[in-house]
Amino acid sequence: MTRDDLKRQLYEAIDRRAPEIIALAEQIWKHPELGFKETKTARLVDETLQGLGLSTRSGLAMTGVCAGIRGGAGDGPTFALLGELDGLVVAGHPAADPATGAVHACGHNAQIAGMLGATMALVDTGAMRSLAGRVVLFAVPAEEGGDLEWRLSQARSGKLELFGGKAELIRLGHFDDVDLAMMIHTSARKEDGKAAVPTSNNGRVAKTARFVGRASHAGGAPWNGVNALYAAQIALAGINAQRETFRDEDTIRVHPILTHGGSQVNVIPGEARIETYVRGRTMEGVLDAARKVDRAFKAGALALGARVEIETLPGYLPLACDATMTRYFRENAVGLIGPDQYREVGHRTGSTDMGDLSQIMPVLHPYMGGARGTNHAADWEIADPVLAYVMPRVDGRGHARRRRGGRARRARARAPEHDARAISPFPALRRAARSVRRRRREMTTTLREMSAGNYRYLPGIAPFSSGVVAAAGHQIVHATLRAPMPWRDGFAMIDRHLRDQGRPRQAVCAIELRSPGQFSFEGFDSFNAGYRDLLNEWKILLDGDNPVARTNVIPTVGAPREPSLYAFSYTIPGATPRPTFVNAGAGEMGERGVGAQGIVRHGETSAEAMREKAAHVMATMQARLKGLGVDWPDVTMIDIYTKYPIESYLADVVLRPAGPAAIHGVRWFPSQPPVVGLEYEMDLRGVVREITV
């Protein structure tokens, strides 16, 4: 069976189930529930999944429900398809629940219907018998915020810790066995076309502020009161006065509401309460804006002689959609709706707890059309149930109905045939899943001591460690050679330099090499064997571990005739205000040991492919920083090694994620990584002393 055959069967199964899928969506629409309270919707999901013959787990993070289907073609990644259970309060919406005010004015009923429809198709066709890995169907609670006082009460009673459903599920370990995840959100924006994928979304924190004044008779003795409402009003004015200090690139959004302003008109309010979100593109931006909001709260209280109790509550991390998953979605979506109806929409300033998942695994968060009105508003409704709940629609031959027969036949004739067992695991997605597991290992691997060298290292692979950080009371010095020299001669020079500094050989903690040309995988292993032998002679290897970090690249101009030493780092006594460290060079290799097939977008050098490679390497850099116990504010140098232009993605993929380190810019070395097939590499460091020798 070919890939197209399997897709056709799935499409046809979805079309056959369309009336049932729509009915489920409409049933959920009629019974909206607020976050962590979605008992009716969860029960409907549970019963539907069990009716398909699946074993379920329910009550996850209070109301979550999941089931799994294992593939018959062997091991592979676990892919989670998600749908969100909750509605939100929208005053004046005609479909709002009269008791709670809840309504599905964000389209979560469509998500659940789509997730259940996909499950029906997988079960009806038996498609998983031809696929590897595992699919998890997961109805998740409480993506929408709000209802803060109730959630706080649940937290204080020990029933909750985090206020977003996915974040709470992560905390409880329910995503531990998931490698990548996806969900689809309904959109009413005409500019989104029928399908759209954002690059990223804002993260956020939530805040409550309780202003406590003194009540008094508003007519008889107002001078005896301290007006908490006026304190809150001044705080709101202070927040508004801060808006011009928010940087455009941080996409800060602060939108407070007054939830209590007094109890009776003839009483000076003794208490007032504000709730707000503070959103931003990066958590550094969010935290900076949050500090300004706190100042405004305190200023309002100070002005009236009141006091204020501020509580900052965990929100959502910024969302980053995985580039590889975006590419696969685009290819399939365009085949169904046409290229004129597909969009990639850049950064969005709303927030979702899908962002929390995106920080630990590849995720995708596309939008599908079918709604009209304004998101989270009283005019929101589903205008096209088939597009919102069901899509795709196929003709009798399994082609998307939008295509004309001749065009579809021509496209089909050009498409190569593939055995269905090769459909999943898609190699690029397997690499993404493997690499996130590797990044998790790097973030959680315990630093090991190189006590003779006065540093700790993050274990890596045989040729080098993943990074090093100076031990307490010591710092790392970075030394660049005035001119590179053959690497063995370079090590002799390092030996002399260390002796002059009164330091042992084991103090060397990082090496930077320049080579004449890229190695084959076998040639790289051969070079590394000789390199390790020298380190062993220096008594640096520890039980087979190589603690020394390394970068090795090939300059496109002026490459040396043989592998040569370009720079090195070593430790000396002396404390520093921030830890000093070196992140080893990393290329776009998804997993060591799988050869060229492990390279992200192997053989591709388009701007899109280079963006994806850069994003992969940035994720590796971030994981290593965390593994070393440092972060972007500690970085003093960002080095990029590629012979291809970087301008198209530098700001979005490198500088903005680097946060405060972006102020230092980057150094771009037109060069190649050391192994044939790799096209992009980076390293980082944070040091106080840079010298030339």
Q: What is the DSSP string of 306-352?
A: -EEEEEEEEEEPPEE--HHHHHHHHHHHHHHH-GGGEEE--EEEEE-
Please list, in sequence order, all residues whose beta carbon lies within 8 angstroms of the beta carbon of residue 441, skipping any fewer than 6 positions away: none
For residue 265, the tally of other CB atoms under 10 A from its CB is 8
Q: Are 447 and 457 in contact (CB under 8 A)?
A: yes
Instruction: Please list the alpha-helical segments (H only) found in 567-655.
Output: 607-628, 647-649
| Extents of the domains making up the chain | 3-199+321-422, 204-314, 437-692
At residue 2, the pLDDT reads 85
Q: How far apart are CA 629 and CA 468, in angstroms?
A: 10
Angle 283-304/228-242 helices, nearest 10 degrees?
Answer: 140
Average pLDDT on 474-499 reads: 97
Please name every residue paired with 212 in a beta bridge, in sequence order, or none if there are none: 271, 307
Task: Please give the helix or strand (H or E) that residue 57 lies within, else none.
Answer: strand 56-60
For residue 225, pLDDT over 70 is answered with: yes
HEC profile of 126-144: CHHHHCCCEEEEEEECCCC
HEC profile of 195-259: EEECCEEEEEEEEEEEEECECEECCCCHHHCECHHHHHHHHHHHHHHHHHHCCHHHCCEECCEEE
Mean pLDDT lowest for which of 64-68, 230-234, 404-408? 404-408
State pLDDT tens for residues 129-175: 999 999 999 999 999 987 878 888 888 888 888 889 999 999 888 99
At residue 422, the pLDDT reads 30
Q: How far apart are CA 587 and CA 594, in angstroms?
A: 14
Q: What is the chain's mean pLDDT, rounded?
A: 89
Biggest alpha carbon–alpha carbon distance for the chain: 93
pTM over 0.85: no
Q: How far apart are CA 268 and CA 97, in angstroms?
A: 34
Same CATH fold assignment for domains 3-199+321-422 and 204-314: no
Please list, in sequence order, all residues whose beta carbon lies within 8 angstroms of the beta carbon of residue 137, skipping any fewer than 6 positions away: 49, 54, 66, 67, 68, 69, 80, 81, 115, 116, 118, 119
User: Which of the 8 DSSP states describes residue 387?
Assistant: I
For residue 412, pLDDT over 80 is answered with: no
User: Which of the 8 DSSP states describes residue 388?
Assistant: I
Q: Are 368 and 387 in contact (CB under 8 A)?
A: yes
Q: How far is CA 517 from CA 406, 524, 596, 642, 677, in A?
A: 49, 11, 17, 13, 12
Mean pLDDT lowest for which of 51-65, 348-362, 407-421? 407-421
Q: Is the peptide bond before 425 cis (omega within 30 degrees of 0)?
A: yes
For residue 443, pLDDT over 80 is answered with: no
Q: How far apart are CA 405 and CA 397, in angstroms?
A: 9
Q: Are 559 and 640 in contact (CB under 8 A)?
A: no
At residue 525, the pLDDT reads 85
For residue 440, pLDDT over 80 is answered with: no
Specify the CATH number of the domain 437-692.
3.30.1330.40
Average pLDDT on 234-245 reads: 97
Helix (H, G, I), strand (E, B) or coil at 421: helix
For residue 441, pLDDT over 70 is answered with: no
At residue 1, the pLDDT reads 76
For residue 437, the tally of other CB atoms under 10 A from its CB is 14
Q: Name the one residue in this structure whose structure tokens are 């940035």.
A: 618
Give residue 590's pLDDT band: very low, low, confident or very high (50, 70, 90): low
In CATH, what class is 204-314?
alpha beta
Question: Strand 134-140 relative to strand 64-70: parallel, antiparallel, unpaired?
Answer: antiparallel
For residue 22, pLDDT over 80 is answered with: yes
By the 10 Å C-beta count (0-12 exposed, 13-18 middle, 19+ buried), 177 is classed as exposed
Average pLDDT on 517-535 reads: 90
Q: Name the one residue in this structure whose structure tokens are 């003794």.
A: 270
For residue 364, pLDDT over 60 is answered with: yes
Average pLDDT on 175-184 reads: 94
Helix (H, G, I), strand (E, B) or coil at 166: helix
Backbone phi, psi, residue 685, to 5°: -155, 160
At residue 445, the pLDDT reads 54
Q: Name the one residue in this structure whose structure tokens are 């232009």.
A: 645
Q: Are 476 and 468 in contact (CB under 8 A)?
A: yes
Give residue 589's pLDDT band: very low, low, confident or very high (50, 70, 90): confident
Q: Are 294 and 310 in contact (CB under 8 A)?
A: yes
> Percent of the chain at pLDDT above 90?
78
Residue type (1 letter), 209: A
State pLDDT tens for residues 612-665: 899 889 989 988 998 999 999 999 999 999 999 999 999 988 998 898 999 999
Closest to 460 (Cα-Cα) out of 497, 511, 422: 511
Give residue 14's pLDDT band: very low, low, confident or very high (50, 70, 90): very high
Residue type (1 letter), 510: A
Q: Are 303 and 238 in contact (CB under 8 A)?
A: no
In CATH, what class is 3-199+321-422?
alpha beta
Q: Are 483 and 607 in contact (CB under 8 A)?
A: no
For residue 395, pLDDT over 60 is answered with: no
- CA within 13 Å, CB half, 209: 32
For residue 578, the tally of other CB atoms under 10 A from its CB is 15
Helix (H, G, I), strand (E, B) or coil at 101: coil
At residue 370, the pLDDT reads 93
Q: How far is CA 369 from CA 140, 383, 385, 403, in A?
A: 22, 9, 10, 19
Q: How far apart are CA 102 and CA 223, in angstroms?
A: 42
State pLDDT tens for residues 683-692: 999 999 999 9
